[in-house]
Structure 1
Amino acid sequence: MALIDEVKQVCDRLAPQGWRDLLLQHGLDITATDLQQELVKELPTIDRNLPGFTDFAVNGIRGIEPGSPARSLLYHALASSAVHPTSGAATNTEVYPTLAELDVIENYIYSLANRSLADFPNAVIAVFAYQYRIAARSPHGIHADMAFSRTGVARVGTEVANYSAARRSFWVESKNDHDRLAVMPARYAAFLAVERRPSTDDAILEEQPSDRTRRFLFPVHKLFPGDECLRDVNITLEFLEYHRNEKLQRVHTHGGIPVLSGFDINKPPFVRDSRNSSDLVQLQSVNASVLLVPQPTPQLVHTVTQRNSITNREEIVRFRVPPENFNNRFWTSYQIAANGRGREAPEYVNMRHLVETSATGEQKLVDLNQAIASEDEFLRVLAEGNYEAAHFSDNSCDGCISVRVNGLSEIAVRSAYSLVTAPDFFPLADQIAIEHWADNFLPTLRDQFSQGGPSPLSEGRQPPNPDLPLPDSETKAFQRNETAIAAIVGTAPRTTNSPVASQLNSLVSFLPDAASNVFAPGWDVSLGQDSQGNFYAAYGLGSPFPEDAKLCAALNSYWPAVAPDAARTFGILSAPTALPLLDDELGYHLQHPRVKAGEVQSQLGWDGEYGPFFEDFDGLFVNFANKDRSDYISNALAGQIRVSELAQVDSAEIIRRMEALRFCIRVLPPNDTVSTTQLLLVSAEIADWSSRGDRAQPTLQGFGYLYVFATVQGSEQITHDVRRKRIRVRNRFTCQITQNTLCWQQDDGEFRCEVNEPI
């Protein structure tokens, strides 16, 4: 079937769903008898005042502009997450194009360029992860456009992928159960690309100072099957993948922990890859593009077994915990120290689940967090070690995606780097948006974040894991000089116009600007190391990843656009809350005052824990989770790790909460900074002060927050529940906040009001 006929099928299906009427307002009739002519004619008027079209390229004048998706009105309408055919359409998947239909339109756009291979001298075939984005998120920021990266970031989950057609992207909540995490695929396609140093006209998202000396791959023409892609050639495509999870193996080979007798660390589950395991990822064809789809698991983590060669029994894979020394513990996690900047093994390993083996070989998993009542005994057992702790596996991995292009076999192929990593708990927030706020409004990054920060992976300039082979050979997939592989590039905007008004962002990204860069080690990827230098690798993350996630979350939202901030859940004062989560997001304990008053129901928070609260216990105390007993692996096994509480929190809301926090900390005594304050945020709620009877003064109007802080004294005490602690309150500070006004009260004193002055 000719491509124009496929395009006609797409238009015929969508026309009665509101798309014909919408596009007729621009003078484009997608039901025209001669659709091919209709699509390439110059349109008399394009109404850029219509919702979703304000960021359509100003030099776009046709339904289809040959070779340019961004200047093709039909493609912009169907692919932009800001365009909807009718009001209320977002709830009806059927009225939107599928990914396969968008792929058809892309192929047709490139087919009309009528190019031959000779038009692309020195081209290579390269695999890119790519998305069509609103202007504010495009590589050049001028109009809506394609964004390309040679790195894609897919995410693990417990349910099959959930495509949200209105968003034109996948969504993190399961379609059938919002408390379950859907896997998040990444989309790739093959392009002819040119490798060169960038010019001043090239679009690189957040270009780095050293980029002018680096070599980048820039896509110039999409490849798709058939004889309409390039003149005088008929091509076919076959995508291939290789992915590897080797964290358990590296705990032993590079982490210094001896292997228990009878286990073979060169076999699954110690090392799992595409050649010995089919449960990590799958490739799913989408016409000429492909989805890399992580395989869902019933729980985010699970125990794994191997037949022991000595006992000849299938046994839980486990390790003997070494005794504590000066550098192998972080709280109650086993820590593998790095040797230099990079890592050669997971930084943290869960060690709180004992494997009991009976004389008959029966095995039982014992959660030490619950099994040992005495806090002193619990900490002593963990410190002394010498017990067998379960290894846990997850489906995080890294790898490559390559392609065979029959018909162009003489051209070199460059693979894409593929990360399959932890869930993104803020799918509508990107690292780069928080970084812009920090750059523009913070005196220094450390003024807000005592640790970590909003550095996106797209700004990183490290090569990918050099040990990864190509899918169909032992040849290495990547070279050490491919240091721009995580960058996001675009096509030149072909206009010098100023950026246009942007659109509401609802697209969920699988490109590296929505992922975290590496510190120690990261949330999405770690910095690996060998004798030749550093590189990106998945194996430096926690084993399993929730072990690392707990520590990132507890340390003031180490990665603020993917990692929730659980510092106040655990009463952490050494790394104070930087990104306030609300009480209902952190969870209401049964003894929470609002639960006891019947105002709310008790519920676990996003991480399976309960947030802090004030309690009367021979005086006023703050009750909070015990960081030593909290175990995200236990919570994941119980299905208590959820994203539904946080999924709708976007970048703007994160920034509003942080600005409100900064306002409070600046005004409350002793007027210090967010990162150094000794004020413990105990309660945080959204408030509409226009309708609340408890507001401090009538002029307090509109949307805002209610934050309640405490200063504390004395030492932490264990409660009757070993998972909770309490500490005595010295003073309580109640803050009623709007964008411009803060009214605050110390204990039960008078409210004082302050106006928010620009910093």
Structure 2
Amino acid sequence: MLLIERIKQSLEVLFEQDDAWPNLLSHHGWPISLADLQSMSTDQLESALLSTELKVDRSLTGFKDFISNSERLVSPGKPFASLLYHALASPHVIEQADGFEIKIFPSIAVIEDVENYIYAARKASLEQIMIDASTLAGEDRARLEFAVCSFSAEYRPQPATVQLTHADHCYSRTGVARVGTSEAYYNPQLRGFSVFKEGDDAHQIRVLPCRYAAYLSVKLRDKKKLFGPVNSLNQTGQDEQIDFWVPLHKLFDGEECVQGLNLKVEQQATLYNQKLEKLSTLLRDKDLSTTSDAQLLRSPFRVSEGIASFSDAEIWGQGVLSPNPHPLVSQTKDDNDAFVNFRAPAMGSAGFSDAFSPSLLLDINSTSEGRLRPAPEFVHVRDQVEDDGSVTNLSDQANVVALATKGGYQALHYSDYAGDGWVTPTVTDLNENKPLGLNGNAFGIQSAFSIVSAPDFFPKVRQRQVYEWWQSEVPEQNEQGKLPRWWAWLVDNGHWSSVWRAPPNPLSDERVAANIQLPDTPFNADDVSVTAIVSLLQDERVAAAVTTPVVEPDPPPRRRRLRRRFARLERMRLALIAQMQTEEEARDQVSIAPPAEKIPFAARNTYLPDAASGIFAPGWDVSVDSVDSTVHLAAYGLGSPFPEDAKLCAALSTFWPAAAPDSTRNYFNVPRTRAGSIVPLTDSETGVGEGALAWDGVPGPQVVSANSEQLVVEYPDYPRVDYTKNALEGKFSIDKTSRITLEEYKRRMVATLRMYRAIGKISSKDEAHILSFQKVATDLAELELAQERSAIELQGPVYRFQGFNNQVDGSDNVSAPEAVGESQQRAQYQVTETWTVFVGSGDHVLIRTQDGDGSVRVRNWQALNV
């Protein structure tokens, strides 16, 4: 069936299910109805798609970032300039011109058909595609290198694109899928996959697939205006010396893709989990394992099956690689169903550290290239395999730290279902039954680096978004005098730049080779642009086509009244400032006029590497190793299993921002951290309160008793917390954290810095403890009292912090810990003085302190301009 026939059928179904679609397209200048479409021949539909002159209304939600220089339903070879594609594929197109919601959205397969048709409509021969590329690049065609490449590909709103000028496709030769306990869920409205579906069990975690596609591509360098790459770290000098593979034309099955050819396009995924192979090799060298060479190359040590597979193309289109659902971890068994184990080393002996006991830390030597991970850096050793084959969990014993540190017992291996590998494209011309090529010379093949990683507990927040906001946007606003004084103070005094335990560097900005130690690896040491994000090769005029400013029609009466009210209030505000304050003080006041409208980021997961971590210590998504002095990416350096490292990441002040939740405040003390909380989780997200559910299965701190002199607070004891056991028992939950948006993530970070300043611990955060953190309603009685007593009304959203400091006026404020229960997994502390802080979005925070329950000694509420 021709693509135009498939599109006609799909549009008829869509129009019949929801008349919002013909209404929306008609509004933009294509007068169409279901009856019109049904009466059209395919030739008539094709003519309409290619020749209709539209009048695109860019004031509509979802169309503000449609490229400004196109008024076409289909622009051959340019999905970003095709309004039909944009309407179907953009996650922001969710309502009609009259504001009523669209109810039915297209499937991935339908969107892909339209995408393929756009390339088919180009009606280009292979030679013409190459000629066009050389013309755009300004290079002699004979000197250019072309290849068939697999890319992970995603259509994105303008703020997340390469050129940042209009909605566009983004491409990378690295894709990041994520493990889960149940099958993938495609959210049609978001045009993407979601980690959690309404109605799911709270402990259910959906796998997150990655979509790959094959493209004819060209190798280029130093053409940033034509294809990028994205580079949040601004290392443009380095990128000017690096080669990048840039997509030119999508390749798909059939005779329509390239003129004169009949293509068969396939992609093959090869994935490995080598954690136990690498770990057992290291252990064997130290006489701690008896695994043979032959065993190391087989499951469960080297796993090559059951990690991920391509999904049904009829449902999700071509190239959707989906991890197979599994429990997050499992106890490792051999072919005879016997547990696989090794002798736990004495921590502190050569090659092993007790720094984070009872987790085993491989004491890996640092090199000039940095700290490399030839094997999993953190290993679970808390399950002892007895002589009779049974397993004893040491986490239930009070002396678990001493037992694990001493070692000498048979420790059970755990397996997870993460891994890395590659996706290789194979494109055959069925007319000649030969690989795709020109003049008898087959094109080279470039595989994509495929990562299957741990869950992302913040799927709506990306490393790149957080990094650019923190590193660039806020400092630039400060230089321009646009920040209120309290925020400017944080920037000017270094508290903004030093906030992170590890900065949110995105993997897409790293220039490092893929895993060149994989068995039969297709990667080479010189190819260091594999994680880069690029666009299609575009004419410089197209790349610079900034979306035109929206000229809105006259607003309805209610909106006009609101605007007049805002204008009147703003004039009053400016008059008051002129009367009461100096110009310098005026900058502290936040305007109450409606802000200029910005196109939001898509509130969905992404599988491109700007949502993955580029900090490798050892890493959240992937780590690094080295061979022959070449540093490369490698998944086998992560924790074995991954929750063993995730525990440390979360406790060390969200060591991987936008991926690992910040659980620092959950513990009274965490080894080797002084950063305090950065983006704290609320009480309900940490399992405190009626019906609350902890994301990691570990209920956070809580008050167990109180009197007029003191509170008794209870904390989980960090060393005894066992994330691997919690993962095995299905206690992890992504329900609440998956709802946290980028804006909420930012607000929490800013509010927390202000809280630390208010309590006088901005430079010594580890001396303070956040006992409770909540986002509160404005009618909360305590907040109303605080505002009344301080004569300050906070602007929302408002956050409430409650906590205490280690010392007050030089004296101890907290008792020594008292272990709770036989396993001593929790401990209680007696606290004399506590503080409560309310933080909103305005200039002031409200604070008071009290002893015990406040029934005898309590200070009045104060307003601080911090």
Q: What TM-score comes out, normalization by structure 2 length?
A: 0.80
- Is 1:655 paired with 2:681? no
- Give 1:666-681 correspondences, 5 Å limit: 666-670=757-761, 672-673=762-763, 676-681=765-770
Q: Among residues 45, 49, 61, which one is paired with 1:35 in the alignment?
A: 45
Offset from partner CA, 1:493-542 (integer Å, 9 cap, x none): 71534466413522320000111113311100001122332101100000
- Secondary structure of the residue aligned to 1:146 is strand
- Is 1:728 paired with 2:862? no
- Give 1:2-21 correspondences, 5 Å limit: 2-16=2-16, 17=18, 18-21=20-23
Quote the residue 2:342 is aligned against: 319
- Secondary structure of the residue aligned to 2:240 is helix
1:635–1:176 distance in 2 versus 1, CA, 3 Å: same
- Give 1:571-720 correspondences, 5 Å limit: 571-572=668-669, 574-575=673-674, 576-588=676-688, 600-601=690-691, 603-616=692-705, 619-670=710-761, 672-673=762-763, 676-690=765-779, 692=781, 694-695=783-784, 696-698=786-788, 699-712=793-806, 713-720=814-821
Query: 1:694 Cα shift?
Result: 3.9
Query: 1:289 Cα shift?
Result: 2.9
Quote the residue 2:501 is aligned against: 451
Q: Among residues 255, 266, 269, which one is paired with 2:296 in the alignment?
A: 266
What 5-or-longer segments of structure 1 have no aligned partner? 308-312, 589-594
Q: Among residues 94, 106, 117, which one is paired with 1:97 in the alignment?
A: 106
1:755–1:262 distance in 2 versus 1, CA, 3 Å: closer
Q: Among residues 224, 229, 237, which one is paired with 1:204 in the alignment?
A: 229
Query: 1:693 Cα shift?
Result: 5.1
Offset from partner CA, 1:236-275 (integer Å, 9 cap, x none): 012111111010111121355535446664244343343x
Quote the residue 1:592 is aligned against: none
Offset from partner CA, 1:53-89 (integer Å, 9 cap, x none): 1111101210001000000000000000000255675
| Residue identity in the other structure for 2:544 | T
| Distance (whole Å) between structure 2 residues aligned to residue 728 and residue 124 of structure 1 | 67
Q: Among residues 472, 481, 499, which one is paired with 2:526 in the alignment?
A: 481
Quote the residue 1:349 is aligned against: 379
Greater CA drift, 505-514 or 546-555: 505-514
1:285–1:205 distance in 2 versus 1, CA, 3 Å: farther
| Distance (whole Å) between structure 2 residues aligned to residue 57 and residue 499 of structure 1 | 5
- Give 1:366-405 correspondences, 5 Å limit: 366-370=392-396, 372=397, 374=398, 377-405=399-427
Q: Is the 8 Å Cα contact of residues 300 and 332 (structure 2) preserved in structure 1? A: no
Quote the residue 2:635 is aligned against: 538
Quote the residue 1:227 is aligned against: 255
Quote the residue 2:182 is aligned against: 159
| Residue identity in the other structure for 1:168 | R
| Distance (whole Å) between structure 2 residues aligned to residue 200 and residue 633 of structure 1 | 44
- Give 1:178-577 correspondences, 5 Å limit: 178-202=202-226, 203-206=228-231, 208-209=235-236, 210-254=238-282, 256-258=285-287, 260-261=289-290, 265-274=295-304, 277=305, 279-286=306-313, 289-297=318-326, 299-307=327-335, 314-325=337-348, 327-329=352-354, 330-339=356-365, 340=367, 341=370, 342-358=372-388, 363-370=389-396, 372=397, 374=398, 377-407=399-429, 408=436, 410-439=442-471, 440-441=473-474, 442=491, 448-449=498-499, 451-469=501-519, 474=520, 476-491=521-536, 492=538, 494-498=542-546, 501-503=598-600, 505-572=602-669, 574-575=673-674, 576-577=676-677
| Residue identity in the other structure for 2:650 | A
Offset from partner CA, 1:428-454 (integer Å, 9 cap, x none): 000111112221435658855452221
| Residue identity in the other structure for 2:656 | W
| Distance (whole Å) between structure 1 residues aligned to residue 669 and residue 506 of structure 2 | 25
1:78–1:262 distance in 2 versus 1, CA, 3 Å: closer
| Distance (whole Å) between structure 2 residues aligned to residue 660 and residue 262 of structure 1 | 52
Q: Is the 8 Å Cα contact of residues 60 and 70 (structure 1) preserved in structure 2? A: no
| Distance (whole Å) between structure 1 residues aligned to residue 500 and residue 71 of structure 2 | 50
Query: 1:331 Cα shift?
Result: 3.0
1:691–1:683 distance in 2 versus 1, CA, 3 Å: closer
Q: CA RMSD in A?
A: 2.2
- Secondary structure of the residue aligned to 1:587 is coil
| Distance (whole Å) between structure 2 residues aligned to residue 736 and residue 262 of structure 1 | 58
| Distance (whole Å) between structure 1 residues aligned to residue 503 and residue 215 of structure 2 | 34
Question: Of Structure 1 and Structure 2, which has the larger fraction of its residues in helix?
Answer: 2
Q: Is the 8 Å Cα contact of residues 334 and 348 (structure 1) preserved in structure 2? A: yes
1:445–1:240 distance in 2 versus 1, CA, 3 Å: farther
| Distance (whole Å) between structure 2 residues aligned to residue 320 and residue 742 of structure 1 | 55
- Is 1:117 paired with 2:207? no
Q: Among residues 28, 35, 52, which one is paired with 2:62 in the alignment?
A: 52
Query: 1:306 Cα shift?
Result: 1.4
| Distance (whole Å) between structure 2 residues aligned to residue 285 and residue 125 of structure 1 | 23
- Secondary structure of the residue aligned to 2:154 is strand
| Distance (whole Å) between structure 1 residues aligned to residue 600 and residue 67 of structure 2 | 13
| Distance (whole Å) between structure 1 residues aligned to residue 600 and residue 815 of structure 2 | 51
Q: Is the 8 Å Cα contact of residues 616 and 622 (structure 2) preserved in structure 1? A: no
Q: Is the 8 Å Cα contact of residues 276 and 302 (structure 2) preserved in structure 1? A: no
Q: Is the 8 Å Cα contact of residues 502 and 615 (structure 2) preserved in structure 1? A: no
Q: Is the 8 Å Cα contact of residues 166 and 546 (structure 2) preserved in structure 1? A: no
- Secondary structure of the residue aligned to 2:657 is coil
| Percent identity of equivalent pairs | 32
- Secondary structure of the residue aligned to 2:664 is coil
Count of residues paired in the alignment: 718
Query: 1:318 Cα shift?
Result: 1.0
